[in-house]
Amino acid sequence: MSPARRRLVIGLMSGTSRDAVDAAAVSITGAGPDLFDLPNIKIRLIHHLSVRYPRSLASDLLSLDSLTSGDICRINVEVGEAFARAAIKCAEGAGIALKRFQAVASHGQTLWHIPPQGGPKRRRNGSTMQVGEPAVIARRTGLPVVSGFRAADMALGGQGAPLVAYADYILFKSKAPIAVHNLGGISNVTLVTPRLEGVRAFDTGPGNSLMDAAMRRYFGKPFDRGGAKARRGRPDKELLRRLLAHPYFRMKPPKSTGLETFGPAMLDEVLPSSSRKRGEDVLATLAQFTAHSVAHAYRRFVLPGSAITEAVFSGGGTRNTFLMELLGEHIKPVKLSLSDSYGVPAQAKEALAFAVLGAARLDDVRTSLPGVTGASGSVMLGSITHAS
């Protein structure tokens, strides 16, 4: 047997909330012929941090509908610079020189995500766009950059999402069967099974995206700290019923979604500016909406045929204590826990997952899971941009 090898990778992620770049310095040790000998791989988080986007960039990223092609061209490099700064700060925080890392794995910032359309007979591939120029990150860090993780899966007809299922499997396979759930702007769940082939994952619908949009609209704030405003409000049953009637919830996985569907445009549609509802009541309704849609996804698509008793949550949404209380009630008898209790800080999990995917790409390992995304085959995820 070949000796254990260790690889250090910095994972970078910013999700649909478009709030900050999460960075994770990760050590990945393998004992097999390649690093990705699944039974033996060991993953250790060394350091993690979040770096908020500069104010004007954050505001551009939230007003996508009004951006020109020229704006998007500029944003690609500005996001690349922000990602590079986060990588450099993370290495500093870890106390490890950048040159000791093998690579940076950058998810980039999704600007738009169009899932595949149509049934099995007349299927149109989807399209997705992440910005954050990898050449800029490679130049600033001096490291190879793995990026563009979603495109190859979508070229094979897949959803290109969720991709973290492979890493969720490695991190939580010893606890299988278990649900691994991330509450970002969008909410996604991975059903981790004892064998990789059985793993399933999909987006359940909104995470924080609609609540954040409501906070911006009613209170001029980015999010509802601790869910305090939602807790004070009274849910509007009729509005909740209309929201839950969205066809996305009836679709069977594979499925993925984004801010295009569950974002500010949805809020404008169900609550036109003429609506005189109280902000707190809207937030209470939207918190219920997220909780109900997650519970519905579990009942329809996660629990049948699986013996899970626990769901491990991560993502910024776990800091919304009101939402977490609602979720705990709604997914009963499944027990809700936090990834922190398994040594994976809630805010670091996705960045950590991309570090794992990036390391796998360096070893030419195929990490796409066609059973998850619906693609017609398995592929290596990500392209490599060298620093020189």
Ligand X SMILES: Nc1ncnc2c1ncn2[C@@H]1O[C@H](COP(=O)(O)OP(=O)(O)O)[C@@H](O)[C@H]1O
Binding status of residue 212 toward Mg ion by CB under 5 A: no
Residue list 169-198, contact with ligand X (CB under 6 A): 184-185
**CB-wise, 227 or 374, nearer to ligand X?**
227
- CA proximity to 170, closest of 371, 375, 354, 363: 354
Per CB under 6 A, the list member of 93, 198, 226, 328 interacting with ligand X is 226
**CB-wise, 98 or 105, nearer to ligand X?**
105
**CB-wise, 19 or 168, nearer to Mg ion?**
19
**CB-wise, 212 or 236, nearer to ligand X?**
212
The amino acid sitting at 374 is G
The amino acid sitting at 23 is A
**CB-wise, 179 or 286, nearer to ligand X?**
286
Residue list 5-64, contact with Mg ion (CB under 5 A): 15, 17, 19
What is d(CA 288, CA 286) in angstroms, rounded to the nearest whole number? 5
What is d(CA 11, CA 24) in angstroms, rounded to the nearest whole number? 5
Backbone angles phi, psi at 117, to 5 degrees: -115, 155
Give min distance, CB of 353 to ligand X, in A.
Answer: 11
Per CB under 6 A, the list member of 317, 358, 374, 382 interacting with ligand X is 317
What number of other Cβ atoms are within 10 A of residue 31's Cβ?
A: 15
**CB-wise, 17 or 367, nearer to Mg ion?**
17
What is d(CA 259, CA 210) in angstroms, rounded to the nearest whole number? 9
Tokens representing 309 are: 């008793």
Binding status of residue 319 toward ligand X by CB under 6 A: yes
Binding status of residue 14 toward ligand X by CB under 6 A: yes
What is d(CA 355, CA 8) in angstroms, rounded to the nearest whole number? 9
Task: Return the range that interacts with ligand X (CB under 6 A); candidates 223-231, 247-255, 285-293, 377-385.
Answer: 223-231
Number of residues engaging Mg ion in binding (CB under 5 A)? 3
Binding status of residue 208 toward ligand X by CB under 6 A: yes
Task: Return the range that interacts with ligand X (CB under 6 A); candidates 86-94, 113-121, 162-170, 225-233.
Answer: 225-233
Binding status of residue 212 toward ligand X by CB under 6 A: yes
Give Cβ neighbours of residue 372 (< 8 Å, ≥ 6 apart).
159, 162, 165, 190, 199, 200, 201, 202, 253, 254
Binding status of residue 264 toward ligand X by CB under 6 A: no
Per CB under 6 A, the list member of 115, 134, 316, 358 interacting with ligand X is 316
Indicate the Cα dihedral angle 64, 107, 188, 239, nearest 10°.
-10
User: Strands of 178-183's sheet, edge to edge?
Assistant: 200-206, 186-192, 178-183, 310-314, 335-338
Query: Could you tell me the CA-to-CA distances from 29 to 33, 189, 191, 349, 363 in Å, in that order?
Result: 12, 26, 24, 18, 13
Per CB under 6 A, the list member of 19, 78, 133, 203 interacting with ligand X is 19
Number of residues engaging ligand X in binding (CB under 6 A)? 20
Give min distance, CB of 40 to Mg ion, in A.
Answer: 32
- CA proximity to 15, closest of 362, 277, 262: 262
**CB-wise, 115 or 207, nearer to ligand X?**
207
Residue 27 interacting partner from Mg ion, ligand X, none (CB closer than 5 to 8 Å by kind): none
**CB-wise, 15 or 227, nearer to Mg ion?**
15
- CA proximity to 232, closest of 160, 196, 280, 273: 280
**CB-wise, 184 or 263, nearer to ligand X?**
184
**Angle of the 279-297 helix axis to the 209-219 helix axis, nearest 10:** 180
Residue 208 interacting partner from Mg ion, ligand X, none (CB closer than 5 to 8 Å by kind): ligand X
Per CB under 6 A, the list member of 9, 10, 12, 17 interacting with ligand X is 17
Half-sphere exposure of 198 (CA within 13 A, CB side): 14
For ligand X, the binding residues (CB under 6 A) are 14-17, 19, 184-185, 208, 212, 223-227, 315-317, 319-320, 350
Q: Which residues bind Mg ion (CB under 5 A)?
A: 15, 17, 19
